[in-house]
């Protein structure tokens, strides 16, 4: 069954270009020129991924991102931001709100499709050889269920946050550079800046609460999980 991608953008040309490119790669798509019709569609069908323009006429894209991440049934849907804004702060804000990646307009359709595929691979990644890791008796990472718990309480992470945590935990005690983390997440499809990793790590720490100190920042080198 084809994976369903929802595309939200008020520019007809962009909607058509993104939709056509994704359909050619075997995805099912639905196009939305405004947010309210997209919200209504969620009552009948939940997308596997959302391509979200940040500059929309009815609701700001950041608000859409915030809303989706606040809803338990929708919070795990990966989001790829489309932005005409070139400022790094705008991209970082989107990532902090829970988006998984971004593409800056004008963009290559081939790049966009590659980003979508990379996000979905991470989201539905292969099962780790170690199905369950327990760190310091507090942090549990269940690679079979793709769930994380801190002191028995479930923690809702984005697909990217989960993959970073799983990667660091699998290399427990060893420093992983930002470039190593980027390579793990995106392989050869690395289009993002190193700062992206810092944003995801900060967001991850905020969600982990008591377990946040387990993720150590080694200045100038990278990150590691230390018992």
For 22-76, the DSSP string reads: HHHTT-EEEEESSHHHHHHHTTT---SEEEEES--SSS-HHHHHHHHHHSTTTTT
Whether the per-residue pLDDT at 150 is higher than 70: the answer is: yes
Helix (H) / strand (E) element for 133: namely strand 132-135
Whether the per-residue pLDDT at 4 is higher than 90: the answer is: yes
Q: Are 166 and 185 in contact (CB under 8 A)?
A: no
Least confident of 101-105, 122-126, 139-143, 223-227: 122-126
pLDDT in tens, 67-112: 998 887 788 889 999 887 666 666 677 777 778 888 888 888 999 9
Rounded Cα distance, 200 and 98, in Å: 8
Least confident of 6-10, 19-23, 130-134, 173-177: 130-134
Output the pLDDT for position 194.
63
* Percentage of the residues of the chain whose pLDDT score is greater than 90: 37
Output the pLDDT for position 50.
96
pTM, full prediction: 0.60
The pLDDT confidence band at residue 129, using thresholds 50, 70 and 90, is very low
126: helix, strand or coil: coil
Q: What are phi and psi of 187, to 5 degrees?
A: 60, -130
Helix (H) / strand (E) element for 188: namely none
C-beta neighbour count of 133 within 10 angstroms: 18
Whether the per-residue pLDDT at 193 is higher than 80: the answer is: no
Please, what is the average pLDDT of the chain? 85
Rounded Cα distance, 90 and 60, in Å: 12
Whether the per-residue pLDDT at 15 is higher than 90: the answer is: yes
Please give the average per-residue pLDDT across 23-46, as a whole number. 92
CA dihedral 23, 27, 28, 29 (to 10 degrees): -70
Q: Are 105 and 70 in contact (CB under 8 A)?
A: no
Least confident of 98-112, 179-193, 199-213: 179-193
Domains of the chain: 4-123 (3.40.50.2300), 132-225 (1.10.10.10)
């Amino acid at each position: 069954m084809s994976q369903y991608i929802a595309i939200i953008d008020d520019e007809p040309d962009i909607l058509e270009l993104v939709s056509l490119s994704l359909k050619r790669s075997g995805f099912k798509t639905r196009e939305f020129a405004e947010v309210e019709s997209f919200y209504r569609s969620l009552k009948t069908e939940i997308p596997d991924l959302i391509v979200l323009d940040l500059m929309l006429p009815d609701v700001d894209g950041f608000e859409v991102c915030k809303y989706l991440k606040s809803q338990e049934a929708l919070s795990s849907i990966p989001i790829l931001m489309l932005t005409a804004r070139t400022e790094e702060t705008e991209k970082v804000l989107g990532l902090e709100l829970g988006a998984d990646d971004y593409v800056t307009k004008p963009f290559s359709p081939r790049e966009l499709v590659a980003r979508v595929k990379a996000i979905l691979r991470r989201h539905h990644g292969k099962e780790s050889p170690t199905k369950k890791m327990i760190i310091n008796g507090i942090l549990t990472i269940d690679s079979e269920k793709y769930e994380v718990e801190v002191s028995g309480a479930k923690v809702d992470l984005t697909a990217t946050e989960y993959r970073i945590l799983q990667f660091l935990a699998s290399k427990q005690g060893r420093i992983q550079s930002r470039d190593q983390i980027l390579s793990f997440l995106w392989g050869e499809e690395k289009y993002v800046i190193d700062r992206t990793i810092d944003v995801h790590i900060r967001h991850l720490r905020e969600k982990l609460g008591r377990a946040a100190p387990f993720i150590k920042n080694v200045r100038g080198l990278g990150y590691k999980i230390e018992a």
